[in-house]
């Protein structure tokens, strides 16, 4: 008997794994009929999950942590046993603003630390505080933007204006002059570049080389009550993710996502992110960034609890949540590697032997212990060279104070 699952999503390239699981039959082969519910804003998606209108959601990883910590109008315990993607976002700014940055756009993107300092200087030359669109206060992009700006002494709560708007409205907001730039998941940055409204200033993959992005999120009570259904879905998604990461499938995948039911943007724009061919300025030849967006390889899908704790550390840093043992435990518990291992125990997916790791410590591909098969982790460096040891969160946070990167309210 087929089980129907309703899953909410936003029109972004990183919905790929869910779309392919439905369209290519991977979910059906596991006895699941996927009803993918297109949603406009992250706030609406969050509410649909919390109030039971859907069983799961394609969700911003920090939003899942924030809701569980009570940083929402309606709190709920959420669980994320599967990462749908890493990387895949881009900061773009109006061309007038970008003129104050390094004109060598390849160098600009490959040196985010230097570009952050150029950006700080550009703020001083701008006629007012730049208005930067973010898709949600608790988005991966917004947290990375804060981290990146602060590295150059820019206070994201004082020196710029962060304005929340849905990703699909970012380009029109730029066209209307409501924002000077934005950071969002693809293909929206590419869409703004394509029509000459903006240039790329920074990419998420260069801020954190394997930065956590979207997660498959359930209400914890539903997940615990339906282990068999969850396991079957994760097995389908693992097969789908491997298909999505195969370069020979990218053209077909981009065509699928261009459908109005999904992203409703030109396939050529959508394909840029998954193929790592990024057009940073209108008319410019693409820049090769092979790790711009990942779906499967190098344990992309594994929900490392250390990544949930890195998110928590940034919420603490920006005074969005109190630092306490209970909050730390609740944040770590959002990511569920135990469910991932249970679901994929009999598959050919390599399973990491640990549930946490030191984030930012891998410079080159690294073979690690796995309970099944061979597993190589890709570089996961932060742009400023910091490392995040989940066992030493207090020391990590103190390091920002020592560098005078923590700002007074």
How far apart CA 91 and CA 133 sit, in angstroms, is 9
How far apart CA 309 and CA 329 sit, in angstroms, is 9
Instruction: Per residue of the chain (409 residues), give pLDDT as tens.
Output: 899 999 999 999 999 999 999 999 999 999 999 999 999 999 999 999 999 999 999 999 999 999 999 998 788 999 999 999 999 999 999 999 999 999 999 999 999 999 999 999 999 999 899 999 999 999 999 999 999 999 999 999 999 999 999 999 999 999 999 999 999 999 999 999 999 999 999 999 999 999 999 999 999 999 999 999 999 999 999 999 999 999 999 999 999 999 999 999 999 999 999 999 999 999 999 999 999 999 999 899 999 999 999 999 999 999 999 999 999 999 999 999 999 999 999 998 989 989 999 999 988 777 776 656 678 888 899 999 999 999 999 999 999 865 544 444 4
Taking alpha carbons only, the member of 216, 203, 180, 205 closest to residue 96 is: 180
CB 360 within 8 A of CB 309: no
How far apart CA 287 and CA 386 sit, in angstroms, is 26
Non-local (6+) Cβ contacts of 202 within 8 A are: 90, 91, 108, 109, 112, 115, 116, 148, 183
Q: Give the pTM.
A: 0.95
Cβ-based burial of 370 (10 A; exposed 0-12, middle 13-18, buried ≥19):
middle
Non-local (6+) Cβ contacts of 402 within 8 A are: none
Cβ-based burial of 158 (10 A; exposed 0-12, middle 13-18, buried ≥19):
exposed
Q: How far is CA 122 from CA 180, 201, 409, in A?
A: 12, 12, 23
């Amino acid at each position: 008997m087929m089980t129907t699952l309703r899953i909410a999503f936003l029109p972004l390239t990183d919905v790929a794994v869910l779309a392919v699981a439905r369209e290519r039959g991977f979910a059906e082969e596991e006895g699941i009929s996927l009803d993918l519910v297109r949603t406009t804003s992250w706030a609406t998606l969050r509410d649909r999950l919390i109030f039971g209108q859907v069983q799961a959601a394609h969700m911003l990883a920090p939003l899942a942590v924030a809701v569980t910590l009570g940083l929402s109008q309606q709190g709920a315990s959420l669980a994320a046993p599967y990462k749908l993607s890493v990387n895949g976002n881009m900061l773009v700014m109006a061309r007038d603003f970008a003129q104050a940055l390094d004109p060598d756009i390849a160098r600009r993107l490959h040196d985010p630390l230097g570009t952050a300092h150029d950006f700080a200087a550009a703020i001083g030359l701008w006629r007012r505080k730049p208005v930067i669109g973010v898709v949600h206060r608790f988005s991966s992009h917004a947290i990375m933007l804060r981290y990146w700006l602060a590295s150059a002494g820019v206070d994201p709560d004082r020196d710029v204006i962060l304005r929340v708007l849905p990703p699909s409205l970012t380009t029109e907001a730029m066209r209307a002059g409501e924002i000077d730039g934005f950071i969002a998941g693809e293909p929206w940055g590419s869409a703004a570049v394509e029509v000459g409204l903006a240039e790329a200033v920074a990419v998420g993959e260069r801020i954190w080389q394997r930065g956590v992005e979207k997660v498959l999120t359930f209400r914890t009570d539903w997940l615990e009550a339906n282990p068999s259904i969850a396991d079957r879905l994760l097995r389908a998604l693992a097969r789908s993710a491997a298909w999505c990461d195969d370069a020979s499938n990218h053209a077909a995948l981009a065509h699928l996502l261009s459908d109005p039911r999904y992203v409703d943007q030109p396939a050529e724009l959508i394909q840029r992110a998954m193929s790592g061919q990024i057009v940073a300025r209108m008319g410019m030849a693409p820049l090769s960034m092979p790790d711009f967006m990942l779906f499967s390889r190098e344990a992309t899908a594994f929900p490392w609890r250390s990544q949930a704790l890195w998110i928590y550390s940034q919420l603490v840093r920006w005074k969005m949540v109190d630092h306490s043992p209970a909050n730390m435990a609740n944040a770590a518990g959002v990511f569920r590697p135990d469910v991932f291992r249970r679901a994929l125990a009999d598959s050919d997916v390599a399973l990491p032997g640990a549930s946490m790791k030191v984030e930012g410590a891998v410079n080159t591909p690294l073979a690690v212990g796995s309970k099944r098969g061979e597993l190589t982790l890709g570089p996961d460096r932060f742009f400023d060279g910091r490392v995040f040891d989940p066992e030493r969160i207090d020391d990590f946070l103190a390091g920002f104070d020592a560098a005078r990167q923590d700002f007074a309210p």
